[in-house]
Amino acid sequence: MNKQLVYLFNEGDANMRSTLGGKGANLAEMTKLGLPVPQGFVVSTNACIDYYAQDEKLSKQLVDEVKNNMFKLEEITNKTFDSTINPLLVSVRSGARASMPGMMDTILNLGLNDEVAKAMALDNERLAYDSYRRLIQMFANVVKGIDKKHFDLDIETLLSKYHVESDHDFSPDQLMELVDLHKDTYLREVGHAFPQEPEGQLLEAIEAVFQSWNNARAIYYRRMNGIPDDWGTAVTIQEMVFGNRNDNCATGVAFSRNPATGEDKLYGEFLFNAQGEDVVAGTHTPLPMDQLKTAMPSQYQEFVDFSKMLEKHYHDMQDMEFTIDDGKLFILQTRSGKRTAQAAVKIANDMVAEGVISKADAINSIDLRIVDGLLHPQFDIAALQKVDPIAKGLPASPGAASGVIALSAAKAVEYHKDNKKVILVRAETSPEDIEGMHISQGILTSRGGMTSHAAVVARGMGKSCIVGSNDLNIKDDVMIVNGKEYYEGDQISIDGGTGFIYEGKLDTQSVTISNDFNHLLEWADDIAELKVYANADSAEDIQTALDFGAQGVGLVRTEHMFFEADRIRSVREMILATNDLQREHALQKILPIQRSDFEKIFRVLKDKSVTIRYLDPPLHEFMPTSTQDIEELATVMDISVAEIRDVIRSLHEFNPMMGHRGCRLAITYPEIALMQTQALIEAAINVTKELDGVTLQPEIMIPLVGDVREFNYLASKIKKLANQLIEEFGINVNYTVGTMIELPRACILAKDIALEADFLSFGTNDLTQMTYGFSRDDAASFLDSYYDVGIYDKDPFATLDTKGVGQLIKLAITDARSVKPDIKIGVCGEHGGDPDSIAFFKQIGMNYVSCSPYRVPIARLALAQE
């Protein structure tokens, strides 16, 4: 038996969203609730899937079911489709499971033709021809793809011919003339006459909706929003009611609460004596809802009551379309309303207070993709609307920032001393730029990808950052964008959330975490089963993370400490050492600085867990690159430039990502790991003495382990020294030693590793790179082609690839827990702050996620969402 392809509204409900689409399911639900909904039927998503499976042809079954349901609709409405007596007109709308702008929207008044219009005109001439001319224009536009402007020209012609101000003011005769003009235009543009058979109109419209599922805009939207291509769309066919019948009519759209502020008051726009399209088209200026309250108080109150009822029923703020037809209110559509982050937070709080929704519902109501706006400065919307971006790059770290251009870190520092706000603009940043980055408002580079030095450091600092903007040509003393030159001191603005770069200074809105938002976060913590830690490298950043509610720190990258100006020289001395003794001598200079860093970190975190990763990047990252810096270093170190160049050359790697880094460094130079251990344990001992009674929780993390023997080799050395120091000082330190799982081999051998390690932390950045076999930076050159041809839907570095990388992680966790059920397992890659990835991590037995401080609130909410 074939499955049913078409459903009357009264055959469905809100649960049938995947079959009826969002629009259809809500209309069915409202029908069930007894709301005044014009009746109709829904061509299901299955029909759309069949259509594509059957060489894009409407099946006989579908055509039969459509006809059959039209008969039923005629019975329900007591009107007749394709009849001059009491004619039934319908609207046709697309409606996928998820709301999808870019697809075909709406055709109104379908069913009209010359004969039916003439018959309707006997009753209401203006309505008949106004509706008919609208049908011709919409049908031509959405079914045949003809630009509206051809029909607008007809209107212009008559407006000037009759000196009329607006098409609302046309007389019935003029509207009849407009119909004739439109029919001519249709014939000319489409190539055949406007179809006079309502059934043919309907089937063409249904097919047009199906086709719109695969237009470029729809495909693009799906990719951006992770909507599967195989869902298909439904088509809703609904009896027309008329907002343009007479002056006792109106039509509009309204939100049950203010979508910008969250205020609990019906908010929207409407027009008297018009059809829905007029409200959104911008051709007529719609009126605020308060004027409806004045003009039609009872209908307004009825609408408020319905909107409250729908809110309670759906447990969410509603976005509704309505029409008042000769004084009678109809609801044409309802759905959850989009809102700003601020509004979302206020509405969630208010609705909990009103008892409309539970705390869990409140958390679920927050769209995490927009919450970033609450955590970083944003450009003032009014300011933004006035300007166009001059260029675009990769949005590496969110937040809006304005300042003067500094083309070097030194210049940035100079401006900062003069109390100027700075945007640091570089081809790419290097460790030497750290100080300049720190004092800048934002960072902009012309090269590098989402894991470039600039991007990683900026995210850690929570600083606005755009990287890899090919539009920029950055030279020593000028930045050229599309031929225009910008010099140091010139104002620019960047939006790290969108990647747009603007000329001049744009006003920003500052960040305050509202009480409402804090409530949500606290409720979320009660619900969440996993903890949220932060990736943060300094006491300052850790404090920010704690302020955002982090329960600990899942990743301290100690190399970021190595880059700072006061120690990079000793680090380089260590690298340039030609024997163990020289190397240890250099390390002894770094030791007190690193110990003091750790002390600061422990003081902030107290008894909260902190995972400290030992030195990870390849050593060449610490070496200078410019001739000038190399010469400087040679002078300071009293060795020849040639010698330094030799070392740099010897450190060169073909594929640094796959080279001498991570634990491999400490295996060749154990003295580095031992220095770090000494610094860490001594710092812990000192702070334990200071903070009497507090038990610190340091976790030592050995990076890039691919074999348990790597781990054992280093862990035994580390533990030996640590225990020796603890014994020596007579103060216990409750440290553990674990590892980062970031290589496919570590996943496969997780059982071996779990037996030895105290904890496992998945580094999903590297794991994604190795599993896919492409590096994030280099992949930029071909991933766009992949999106274009539909090979990948989304960036696997932004959202975890659950089918591939995720399966490796799952396998590893299962194996690890099979030998050590209680082992602490988390994730500290960038996916730790991504809501979709977090949804997966929740399912596979992790204990925590760790993300950058500014993502902590998002992670807290994501962990509590269903």
State how far the Cα of 557 lies from the Cα of 811, in Å rounded to an integer: 27
Which residues have C-beta within 8 Å of that of residue 178, sequence separation ≥ 6?
Answer: 129, 133, 154, 155, 158, 167, 170
User: In the complex with a second copy, which residue's Cβ is closer, 53 or 791?
Assistant: 791
Which residues have C-beta within 8 Å of that of residue 249, sequence separation ≥ 6?
Answer: 242, 243, 272, 273, 274, 323, 324, 325, 326, 327
* x/- map, 804-823, a second copy, by CB under 8 A: xx-xx---------------
704, 740, 823, 861: residue in contact with a second copy (rule CB under 8 A)? 704
User: In the complex with a second copy, which residue's Cβ is closer, 449 or 462?
Assistant: 449
Stretch that binds a second copy, among 248-256, 275-283, 681-689, 737-745 (CB under 8 A): 737-745
Q: Which of residues 447-466 bind a second copy (CB under 8 A)?
A: none
CA distances from 299 to 29, 286, 302, 360 (A): 22, 18, 5, 34
Least Cβ distance, residue 709 to a second copy (angstroms): 4
User: In the complex with a second copy, which residue's Cβ is closer, 222 or 860?
Assistant: 222
User: In the complex with a second copy, which residue's Cβ is closer, 668 or 723?
Assistant: 668
Identify which of 398, 392, 399 has the alpha carbon closest to the alpha carbon of residue 502: 392
Identify which of 798, 817, 809 has the alpha carbon closest to the alpha carbon of residue 840: 809
Residues forming a β-bridge with 378: 509
744, 756, 787, 795: residue in contact with a second copy (rule CB under 8 A)? 744
Identify which of 452, 658, 703 has the alpha carbon closest to the alpha carbon of residue 558: 703
User: In the complex with a second copy, which residue's Cβ is closer, 524 or 827?
Assistant: 827
User: In the complex with a second copy, which residue's Cβ is closer, 489 or 804?
Assistant: 804
Least Cβ distance, residue 664 to a second copy (angstroms): 5
**Residue 844 contacts a second copy per CB under 8 A:** no
* x/- map, 626-655, a second copy, by CB under 8 A: ---------------------------xxx
Least Cβ distance, residue 766 to a second copy (angstroms): 7
Least Cβ distance, residue 125 to a second copy (angstroms): 56
Least Cβ distance, residue 470 to a second copy (angstroms): 10
* x/- map, 653-682, a second copy, by CB under 8 A: xxxxxxxx---x--xx--------------
Torsion of CA 789, 793, 799, 805, to 10 degrees: -80
766, 802, 825, 837: residue in contact with a second copy (rule CB under 8 A)? 766
Return phi, psi of residue 406, to 5°: -125, 125
User: In the complex with a second copy, which residue's Cβ is closer, 327 or 804?
Assistant: 804
Residues forming a β-bridge with 91: 238
Least Cβ distance, residue 622 to a second copy (angstroms): 16
21, 499, 552, 706: residue in contact with a second copy (rule CB under 8 A)? 706
**Residue 4 contacts a second copy per CB under 8 A:** no
Characterise 443 by phi-psi region: left (phi > 0), alpha (psi -120 to 50), beta (else).
Answer: beta
Q: Which of residues 768-807 bind a second copy (CB under 8 A)?
A: 769-775, 777-779, 781-782, 785-786, 789-792, 801, 803-805, 807
Residues forming a β-bridge with 532: 849
C-beta separation of 431 from 622 below 8 A: yes
Q: Which two tokens stand for residue 627?
A: 């001739």
Residue given tokens 């290589």 in the structure block: 743
Least Cβ distance, residue 449 to a second copy (angstroms): 9
State how far the Cα of 823 lies from the Cα of 491, in Å rounded to an integer: 52
Q: Which helix (H) or strand (E) holds 328?
A: strand 328-336
Residue 374: CB atoms within 10 Å: 20
C-beta separation of 602 from 687 below 8 A: yes
Least Cβ distance, residue 77 to a second copy (angstroms): 46
Beta strand segments in 53-207, E: 90-96, 106-110
Return phi, psi of residue 508, to 5°: -115, 155
Least Cβ distance, residue 719 to a second copy (angstroms): 16
**Residue 219 contacts a second copy per CB under 8 A:** no
State how far the Cα of 359 lies from the Cα of 68, in Å rounded to an integer: 45
**Residue 616 contacts a second copy per CB under 8 A:** no
| Cα four-point dihedral sign 369, 371, 377, 383 | positive
Identify which of 317, 307, 270 has the alpha carbon closest to the alpha carbon of residue 36: 307
Q: Which two tokens stand for residue 482?
A: 């599309």
User: In the complex with a second copy, which residue's Cβ is closer, 157 or 668?
Assistant: 668
- Enumerate the active-site residues: 453, 828
User: In the complex with a second copy, which residue's Cβ is closer, 417 or 649?
Assistant: 649
State how far the Cα of 744 lies from the Cα of 741, in Å rounded to an integer: 8
Identify which of 842, 837, 846 has the alpha carbon closest to the alpha carbon of residue 813: 846
Size of interface with a second copy, in residues (CB under 8 A): 48
Least Cβ distance, residue 451 to a second copy (angstroms): 10
User: In the complex with a second copy, which residue's Cβ is closer, 355 or 773?
Assistant: 773
CB-count burial class (<10 Å; 0-12, 13-18, 19+) for 792: middle
First to last CA, the chain: 36
Least Cβ distance, residue 846 to a second copy (angstroms): 19
478, 539, 630, 748: residue in contact with a second copy (rule CB under 8 A)? 748
User: In the complex with a second copy, which residue's Cβ is closer, 553 or 743?
Assistant: 743
43, 568, 749, 760: residue in contact with a second copy (rule CB under 8 A)? 749
Q: What SS3 state is found at 402?
A: strand
Least Cβ distance, residue 223 to a second copy (angstroms): 12
User: In the complex with a second copy, which residue's Cβ is closer, 622 or 713?
Assistant: 713
**Residue 720 contacts a second copy per CB under 8 A:** no
Identify which of 276, 229, 285, 228 has the alpha carbon closest to the alpha carbon of residue 253: 276
State how far the Cα of 734 lies from the Cα of 718, in Å rounded to an integer: 14
User: In the complex with a second copy, which residue's Cβ is closer, 487 or 782?
Assistant: 782
Stretch that binds a second copy, among 264-272, 320-328, 562-570, 739-747 (CB under 8 A): 739-747
Beta strand segments in 31-150, E: 40-43, 90-96, 106-110
Q: Which two tokens stand for residue 147?
A: 């630009």
**Residue 702 contacts a second copy per CB under 8 A:** no
**Residue 713 contacts a second copy per CB under 8 A:** yes
Least Cβ distance, residue 52 to a second copy (angstroms): 16
Which residues have C-beta within 8 Å of that of residue 212, sequence separation ≥ 6?
Answer: 94, 103, 104, 142, 218, 233
Stretch that binds a second copy, among 250-258, 348-356, 762-770, 853-861 (CB under 8 A): 762-770
Residues near a second copy (CB under 8 A) are 653-660, 664, 667-668, 704, 706-707, 709-710, 713, 742-745, 748-749, 766, 769-775, 777-779, 781-782, 785-786, 789-792, 801, 803-805, 807-808
